[in-house]
Structure 1
Amino acid sequence: MNRYSDIICILARVLAVGLFFTSGVDKVFNYHDNLTLMAENHVPAFFLPLVILLEVGGGLAIAFGFLTRFTSVFMAIFSIAAGFLFYQGYSHAHLMVWLKNASCAAGFILLALNGPGRLSLDYLLRHKFQAQTT
């Protein structure tokens, strides 16, 4: 990879998780409203802290390229599951949001397959430990 590709990988990781990170932070500040929404969709309340952890913590992890492949798999599963749980019905708006979730899942699957790039904590840690073992 050249230097431009490395920088584009950082930009892509940040763009991939921007929606999730801001959504997770919003859930922290509007916790009760989100519990109500979850109850209306028959989703148990104990999932909300896990969702916040995934959106905020997972978002930061992917943005910095830490445990990227692992976290991307969970983000992809979460995107599809959220689509099925919260965007049921046949309205145009629900279809658009469901497709947005499917598109996000596709991006996370590609990130899981291709990795975070050279400018990432994953790359740095992998090469540091390889140097120590040789």
Structure 2
Amino acid sequence: MRGFQPMNTLRYFELGSLKSVVLLLARILLVFLFIKFGIPKLLGFSGTVGYMASLNVPFPSLATAVAVIMEVFVAGLIVLGFYTRPLALALALFTLATAIIGHPYWNMTGDQVMPNTMNFYKNMSIMGGFLLLMVTGPGAISLDKR
């Protein structure tokens, strides 16, 4: 009976030529949510400004513009793999800010606490994904590699 050999097991996860495809898929999935909810912010800009104002966000027009830029344009650049590492860091910081501003569960009571707690920690997980992307880079299927 052979003993456990972790190094041999890890070779199965190197993925070879599929690694770039997996990194492309990961980039798309990581920003999908931003693009899906960023486009309506862009198309309904004034309504989004009103929503930001209702959250007491300082400078709601500027905050909306930043949200649209990050969620639509920067996320789109991540999909393309353009300036991936610095933009992944920027989206990680943006995600942290939106978690703190948009889901302050520590200031809430009643039925608001649980969904905001979940969304806050989901943002932390997404932030982790962006930090991993910053470290790993976009892979070969990207504008950065051309």
Indicate the TM-score class for this superposition, using the shorter chain for normalisation: 0.7 to 0.9
Q: Spell out, residue by residue over 1:72-101, the C-alpha distance to the aligned partner (whole angstroms, 9 max, x if none).
A: 011000111001101113411001111111
Does residue 26 (structure 1) correspond to residue 48 (structure 2)? The answer is no
- Helix, strand or coil at the partner of 1:121: coil
- Helix, strand or coil at the partner of 1:34: helix
- Helix, strand or coil at the partner of 1:112: helix
Report the counterpart of residue 69 of structure 1 in structure 2: 85
Q: Spell out, residue by residue over 1:7-34, the C-alpha distance to the aligned partner (whole angstroms, 9 max, x if none).
A: 1111000000000011110101222221
Does residue 52 (structure 1) correspond to residue 68 (structure 2)? The answer is yes
Report the counterpart of residue 142 of structure 2 in structure 1: 120
Report the counterpart of residue 6 of structure 1 in structure 2: 20
Based on CA coordinates, which of the two structures has the bigger radius of gyration?
A: 2
Query: Quick one: percent identity of the two aligned structures?
Result: 29
**4+ residue runs of structure 1 moved beyond 3 angstroms?**
none
**Correspondence for 2:125 among 84, 103, 106:** 103
Where do 5+ consecutive residues of structure 2 fail to align? Answer: 1-14
AA of the residue aligned to 1:103 = S
Over the aligned positions, Cα root-mean-square deviation in angstroms equals 1.2
Report the counterpart of residue 55 of structure 2 in structure 1: 41
Indicate the structure with greater helix content: 1
Give the structure-2-normalised TM-score. 0.80
Deviation at 1:2, TM superposition (A): 2.1
Q: Distance in 1 between the 2:118 and 2:44 partners? A: 24
Deviation at 1:49, TM superposition (A): 1.2
Q: How many residues align structurally? A: 124
Give the structure-1-normalised TM-score. 0.87
Deviation at 1:3, TM superposition (A): 1.6
